[in-house]
Amino acid sequence: MSLMRSFLLLLSLAASLLATPALAQSDAATLRPLINELAKGKYSETEKQIGALVATGDPQVAPALEALSDGDLYARKADGEVFIIKKAGKAYTLIDPLTMETAGEASKREIKKIKVNNSLRRVIRSALGSLTLMAPDPAVRMAAAEAIFKAKDPDGIEALDAAIAAEADDGVRKKMEEARAAAVLNSDMDEAAKLQAVSTLGTMGNRDALSRLIAVQSSSEGALREAATTEITKIEKSIAAWDAAQNIWYGLSLGSVLLLAAIGLAITFGVMGVINMAHGEMVMIGAYVTFVVQEFIRSSAPGLFEYSLFIALPLAFLTSGLVGVAIERGVIRWLYGRPLETLLATWGISLVLQQAVRSIFGPTNREVGNPDWMSGAFEIGQMTITYNRMWIIVFAMLVFAGLMLVLKKTPFGLYTRAVTQNRRMAASMGIRTPWIDALTFGLGSGIAGIAGVALSQIDNVSPNLGQGYIIDSFMVVVFGGVGNLWGTLVGAMTLGVVNKFLEPYAGAVLGKIFVLVFIILFIQKRPRGLFALKGRAVEA
Amino acid sequence: MMSSFLFRAMDARAGLFLAIMAAVIILVPACNLLLPEGSTFHVPNYAVTLMGKYLTYALLALAVDLVWGYCGILSLGHAAFFALGGYAMGMYLMRQIGTRGVYGDPILPDFMVFLNWGELPWYWYGFDMFWFAALMVLLVPGVLAFVFGWFAFRSRVTGVYLSIITQALTYALLLAFFRNDMGFGGNNGLTDFKDILGFDIQADTTRAGLFAASGLALVLCFLICRAITRSKLGKVLVAVRDAESRTRFLGYRVEHYKLFVWTLSAMMAGIAGALYVPQVGIINPGEFAPANSIEVVIWVAVGGRGTLVGAVLGAVLVNFAKTWFTAALPDIWLFALGGLFVVVTLFLPKGIVGIVSQGWTALRQRKISEDYEAGSDEPPSQAPQSPASPANVSPKTSSSTLPADAEPQPAE
C-alpha cells in the first residue's frame, strides 16, 4: 500500500514540479518547521510529513531524509528542534540538517531519536530518488540515474518512468532509460519488458552494460538468454575496437610529446651532425620560463592566467633560443668536425644548466598550473580524451607544420637545407655557414623551449625534467633518420604507439625495454635511420 | 731513431706508472695494517676503501680508454659492463650470506624471501662457488659486448650513432634491473654482504687485501692494454680510429679488430665492477645510469685519451675531486664537473698526460738544440730538428707522431 501511495505522491510531485517550478526553491524558514514536524507522531504521520517535505521539491531536505533513514536524526527535547547527530565517544554533535553547520553538542539525555522502520526507509529512498531525479540541475539528475543504474533497484522504476516522461535533456533521458533497463532486468517484470531492456543495454554498449548483461545471461533462459548473448558479443567487439582506438590515442599523445622533445634535436643533429646533450635542458628552461611567467601573472595580473601559456611561448622560444646561440658561439663552434667531443662538451653544459636551475629555483618540483581550457576531459564513445593531451597533440602538429614551413618556404630554411646536404658546397655558394649553424642551433633550442611550455602542463617541472626526455629524444631521432623532419614525425609516432600497445601485455617498463632493444636492432639494419639521406649528402 | 726515442719515452712513462703502482699496492695496506693508529703515516680504514674504489674506477677508465682512445669507439655504456661484473660478484656475495640473513633462509637471499619466491631462479645457480662467479664476471659482460658488437660493427654503426645505442643499451639494462621480477633485488640491489672467500668483508685485512687485488688487477690490465696497443694489432686499431674506411680498403677486417678490443674492454670493465662491489658493499641499478658511463669518458678525457696512464690518472684525479667537492662544496660539484667537460674538450684535447708529454718533448728538444747551438763537440745522435726529415721540422709536428697525440677521431 505504502508503495502505491508514494508512487501517487511522486506523480503529483512531478506534476507540481512541472507546473510550478517556483515552488521548488523554498527557503530555510519554511523548510525548518517541516523538518521539525518529523519528530512528532507515529510512523504513519511521519510518512505524511516526509511527503510534505518532498512536496517542497527542494534538494536541501535530502540530508535530513538520509539521516532519518540511517537513524541519525534526533530531536532536542528542550525545544523540539531536529538535528543530525554525529556520535564521537560520549559526545553528540548537533548538525543543522539544512545548513549542515555544527550547532553545539548535547548529552544523550537531552535528545531523542526519531524512530524509523523499513517501510519508512523505502518511502524515504524513493522520495530521495525522485528528489534528485527531478532536481533542476541536469548533473544532479544524471548522478541520480547513474546511482539507480548501479543499484539496479526495481523500486526505482516508477520514479524513473515519471522522470523519463518529464525529462527534457536527451543525454539525461538516455541515462535514465538505461537505469530503468537495469532495474527492469533485476525486477520480476515479464519477458517482453526484459527483452526490451536487454536491447537498451545493448545499445548502451559499454563495460557496465556488459557486466549487467553477463549477469542476465547466466541467470536466465530461452529467448532472453539468447538476446543477452547476441548483445554481449556485439558489445565485446565494439569494446575491443574502442580499446584499440584508445591505445592509438594514448600512443599518438605520447608520440607528440616525443615529437616535441625530439624535433629540435633533429634539426641541430641534421645540420651539424652533432647530438646536443644539453637539449633536454633547453626543454627544462622552457618549462621554467612558463613557471616564471605564471608566477608573475599570479602576483600582478591574475586575470591573464588563462593566456599565460600564450605569453610563455614566445618568451620560452627566445630564452632557450638565446641560450642555444650562446652555447653554439661559445663552445660548439670550436669543436666542428669533432662530433664526439661536442657530445661531451654539451653534456657538461647540461650538467651546468641543471645545477644552475637547481641553485636558482631549488631542487624540488615547481607547480605550473593548467589554464581551464587545458584541464578536464570529454568522452567520444568509450574513449576518454583529456583536454591537455588533445591540445598537446594539436600543438605538436602546429609546431611541426610551422617548422616545415620555415624550412621549406623561407630563405633561412633554404640555406639550412643547403648546409645540411653539403656544407662545403653551400659555403662555396656564398652561404655564411657559421651564421646558419648558430641560427639553426638557436632555432632547435627555441623549439625545445616551446616544447618545455607544453611539457610543463603534463610533467613535473624540476631540474631533472630534461633528463627524462633526452634518451627518448635520441631514440626518436636515430630511429627516424637525420636530415628529414618527416622521419622524426614518423619515428616519434611509431615509438609512441608501439610503446602504448606493448604496455598492456608487457607492462610499462618492459615495454620500454622492448622498444629500446628494437631500436638497437633496427639501427643494425638501417644504420642511418628510417628516412636516411641518400647519395653524396651522407658523406658530406 | 725517432721511434726508438718514442718507445723510450713510453717506457719511462709506463715504468714510472708501474713503480708508483707497486709502491701504492705495498705501502697503503702496510701503512694501514702495520702502523699504529696514532702514527703520522697511518692510513685510515676509510681511505683504504676509498682508494680501492678509485683503483677500480681507474680500471674502468682504462677499459674505456682502450676502445675510445685507441679504436675511436666512444662508448656511453661502459658502466653497463661494470655493473654486470658487479652484479655477478654481488650474487656470489649474496649466496655467501647463507643463514645469516634477516630471514635466515639457507638458499634464498633476503629479498627473494621478502618477495615470497619459492625457489632460487636458475640463473642464480652456481654463484655459491667463487670460481663460477669469477668466470661470470668475465663472461657476462664479455658475451653481451660480443653480441652487441657483433651486430653493431658488422653493420658499420659508427660515431655518434654507436654512442647513442650504447647509451640505449645501458638505459635498457637500468630499467630492467629496476624490476623486482628480474630477481636481482630490484631498486635496492644486492647488499648486506658478510664475507668473501671465507674472510669477513668488514675486516681491515680483507679490505687491505681487496685494495691490493684492485691494484694488481689494474697493473695486469694495464700491461695487457700496453701489450696490445704496442703490437701490430694496436697499430691497426689506431688506423681504424683515424681512418676507418681507408683501413678497410687496405684489406683489414675492421669489424674483427673492433669486436676483439670491444669485448676485451667490456671484460675489463666487468673485473672493475667485481672488485668495486665488495669494497663499497652494495650494487644497485643506479650503477647502470647513462650519466655514470658519460662520467667515465670525462675521466679518460681529463687524463688524456690514447694514453693508458692518462686514463688511470684522470680517473683518480676526477674522483678525488668529486669526493672533496661533494663533501666541502656540494652545490659546486656539478658546475665543476660540467665545466671540466667543456674546458677539457675545448682546451685540453690531449688531456693532462698529453700536455705534459708535449711540454716535456718540447723542453727536451729545446735543450738538445741549445746544446747543439752552443757548439758541443758532437752533434746529438738524434736529429729532431734536422731539416732533412720532414716529420721532425718542429717539436710540434714531431710530437704529432706520438700515438698519444694523434687525433682520436673516427673517420666520418
Q: Looking at residue B395, what is its pLDDT? A: 42
Nearest to B172 among A344, A348, A516 (CB): A516
DSSP single-letter state for residue A256: H
Taking the alpha carbons at both ends of chain B, their separation in whole angstroms is 33
- The alpha-carbon gap from B276 to the nearest alpha carbon of chain A, in Å, equals 25
CA–centroid distance for A478 within its chain = 32
- The alpha-carbon gap from A127 to the nearest alpha carbon of chain B, in Å, equals 52
pLDDT above 90: residue B268: yes
In this complex, do A351 and B341 lie within 8 Å of one another by their Cβ atoms? yes
Grid cell for residue A421: 646536404
- The alpha-carbon gap from B381 to the nearest alpha carbon of chain A, in Å, equals 38
Owner of C-alpha cell 758532437: B378
* Contacting residues of B for A270, CB less than 8 Å apart: none
Of the residues A271, A347, A518, the best mutation for testing chain B's interface (the one with the most B CB atoms within 10 Å of its CB) is: A347
| Cut 0.80: pTM above it | no
Grid cell for residue B95: 649466496
In this complex, do A471 and B345 lie within 8 Å of one another by their Cβ atoms? no
Q: Which amino acid is at B335?
A: F
Least confident of A104-113, A284-293, B339-348: A104-113
Rounded to an integer, what distance in angstroms lies between the CA atom of residue A364 and that of residue A131?
A: 48
Rounded to an integer, what distance in angstroms lies between the CA atom of residue A374 and that of residue A94?
A: 42
DSSP single-letter state for residue A352: H
Q: What is the pLDDT of residues B211-228, one digit of tens each?
A: 999 999 999 999 999 989
Q: What is the pLDDT of residues A422-456, one digit of tens each?
A: 888 888 999 998 888 899 899 999 999 999 998 88
pLDDT above 60: residue A376: yes
**Which three-class secondary structure state does DSSP give residue A76?**
strand
pLDDT above 90: residue B272: yes
- Exposed, middle or buried by CB within 10 Å (0-12, 13-18, 19+), for A133? buried
Count of C-beta atoms within a 10 Å radius of residue B142: 23
Least confident of A217-221, B257-261, B329-333, B395-399: B395-399
Owner of C-alpha cell 631514440: A475
Rounded to an integer, what distance in angstroms lies between the CA atom of residue B191 and that of residue B198?
A: 17
Count of C-beta atoms within a 10 Å radius of residue A536: 10
Rounded to an integer, what distance in angstroms lies between the CA atom of residue B11 and that of residue B92?
A: 39
Rounded to an integer, what distance in angstroms lies between the CA atom of residue B403 and that of residue B13?
A: 14
pLDDT above 90: residue B43: no
Give the helix, strand, coil percentages of chain A, each rounded to 5.
75, 5, 20
Least confident of A502-516, B131-145, B311-325: A502-516
- Exposed, middle or buried by CB within 10 Å (0-12, 13-18, 19+), for B163? buried
In this complex, do A520 and B301 lie within 8 Å of one another by their Cβ atoms? no
In this complex, do B340 and A340 lie within 8 Å of one another by their Cβ atoms? no
- Which has the closest alpha carbon to B25: B217, B198, B221? B217
Rounded to an integer, what distance in angstroms lies between the CA atom of residue B358 and that of residue B351?
A: 11
Owner of C-alpha cell 533497463: A181
Rounded to an integer, what distance in angstroms lies between the CA atom of residue A442 and that of residue A439?
A: 5
Nearest to B172 among A269, A359, A513 (CB): A513
Q: Looking at residue A290, what is its pLDDT? A: 92
pLDDT above 60: residue B64: yes
- The alpha-carbon gap from A67 to the nearest alpha carbon of chain B, in Å, equals 46
* Contacting residues of B for A342, CB less than 8 Å apart: 345
A155-159: Cβ within 8 A, 24+ apart: A155/A3, A155/A122, A155/A125, A155/A126, A156/A126, A156/A129, A156/A180, A156/A183, A157/A183, A157/A184, A157/A187, A158/A7, A158/A10, A158/A126, A159/A10, A159/A126, A159/A129, A159/A130, A159/A133
Grid cell for residue A80: 523540539
* Contacting residues of B for A350, CB less than 8 Å apart: 338
- Domain limits of chain B? 2-405
Q: What is the pLDDT of residues A479-525, one digit of tens each?
A: 887 767 888 899 899 888 888 888 877 777 888 888 888 888 888 78
Do residues A194 and A221 touch, judged by C-beta distance below 8 A?
no
Helices (H), A20-151: 28-37, 43-55, 62-70, 118-133, 138-151
B142-to-A172, B81, B92, B159, B311 alpha-carbon distances in Å? 66, 8, 18, 22, 21
Which residues of B lie closer than 8 Å to A, measured between beta carbons? Answer: 74, 148, 151-152, 154-161, 163-165, 167-169, 171-172, 175-176, 178-179, 290, 294, 297-298, 301, 331, 334-335, 337-342, 344-346, 349, 409-410, 412
In this complex, do B161 and A344 lie within 8 Å of one another by their Cβ atoms? no
- The alpha-carbon gap from A526 to the nearest alpha carbon of chain B, in Å, equals 8
Of the residues A271, A329, A351, the best mutation for testing chain B's interface (the one with the most B CB atoms within 10 Å of its CB) is: A351
Residue B190 sits at φ, ψ, to 5 deg, of -110, 130
**Which three-class secondary structure state does DSSP give residue B279?**
helix
Q: What is the pLDDT of residues B363-383, one digit of tens each?
A: 888 888 888 877 655 554 554
Rounded to an integer, what distance in angstroms lies between the CA atom of residue A123 and that of residue A69?
A: 9
* Contacting residues of A for B294, CB less than 8 Å apart: 277, 344, 347
Residue of chain A minimizing CA distance to B149: A524
Do residues B112 and B186 touch, judged by C-beta distance below 8 A?
no
Beta carbons within 8 Å of B193's beta carbon, 6+ residues apart: B90, B93, B94, B96, B97, B201, B278, B281
- The alpha-carbon gap from A459 to the nearest alpha carbon of chain B, in Å, equals 20
- Residues above pLDDT 70, as percent of chain B: 88
In this complex, do A335 and B346 lie within 8 Å of one another by their Cβ atoms? yes
Of the residues B167, B169, B246, B334, the best mutation for testing chain A's interface (the one with the most A CB atoms within 10 Å of its CB) is: B334
pLDDT tier, B128 (very low <50, low <70, confident <90, very high otherwise): confident
Cβ-Cβ pairs closer than 8 A, A with B, add up to 131
pLDDT tier, A9 (very low <50, low <70, confident <90, very high otherwise): low
- Which has the closest alpha carbon to B54: B391, B324, B408? B324
Least confident of A117-131, A455-469, B127-141, B217-231: A117-131
Taking the alpha carbons at both ends of chain A, their separation in whole angstroms is 94
Ramachandran sector of residue A531 (left: φ over 0; alpha: ψ -120 to 50; beta: rest): beta
- Residues above pLDDT 70, as percent of chain A: 89
Q: What is the pLDDT of residues A221-277, one digit of tens each?
A: 777 788 878 888 888 888 888 888 888 888 898 899 889 888 888 888 877 777 788
A491-to-A2, A526, B156, B175 alpha-carbon distances in Å? 68, 13, 21, 22
Q: Looking at residue B369, what is its pLDDT? A: 86
* Contacting residues of B for A523, CB less than 8 Å apart: 152, 155, 157, 161, 165
In this complex, do B409 and A340 lie within 8 Å of one another by their Cβ atoms? yes
Task: Name the helix (H) or strand (E) containing A196.
Answer: helix A191-204
In this complex, do A340 and B172 lie within 8 Å of one another by their Cβ atoms? no
- Which has the closest alpha carbon to A355: B75, B32, B115, B331? B331
Owner of C-alpha cell 677500480: B56
**Which three-class secondary structure state does DSSP give residue A468?**
helix
Q: Residue A469 half-sphere exposure, CB side, CA atoms within 13 Å?
A: 39
**Which three-class secondary structure state does DSSP give residue A238?**
helix
In this complex, do A474 and B176 lie within 8 Å of one another by their Cβ atoms? no
Pairing of strands A383-386, A377-380: antiparallel
In this complex, do B168 and A516 lie within 8 Å of one another by their Cβ atoms? yes
Q: Which amino acid is at B15?
A: G
DSSP single-letter state for residue B194: -
Q: Looking at residue A282, what is its pLDDT? A: 92
Rounded to an integer, what distance in angstroms lies between the CA atom of residue A372 and that of residue A391?
A: 12
Owner of C-alpha cell 653554439: A328
**Which three-class secondary structure state does DSSP give residue A73?**
strand
Residue of chain B minimizing CA distance to A332: B346
Beta carbons within 8 Å of A436's beta carbon, 6+ residues apart: A271, A412, A415, A416, A419, A426
Grid cell for residue A76: 532536542
Helices (H), B231-307: 232-242, 244-249, 254-280, 290-303
Do residues A186 and A197 touch, judged by C-beta distance below 8 A?
no
Residue of chain B minimizing CA distance to A507: B179
Ramachandran sector of residue B21 (left: φ over 0; alpha: ψ -120 to 50; beta: rest): alpha
In this complex, do A474 and B167 lie within 8 Å of one another by their Cβ atoms? yes
DSSP single-letter state for residue B144: H
In this complex, do B345 and A349 lie within 8 Å of one another by their Cβ atoms? no
Nearest to A359 among B148, B151, B331 (CB): B331
Least confident of A128-132, B293-297, B319-323: A128-132
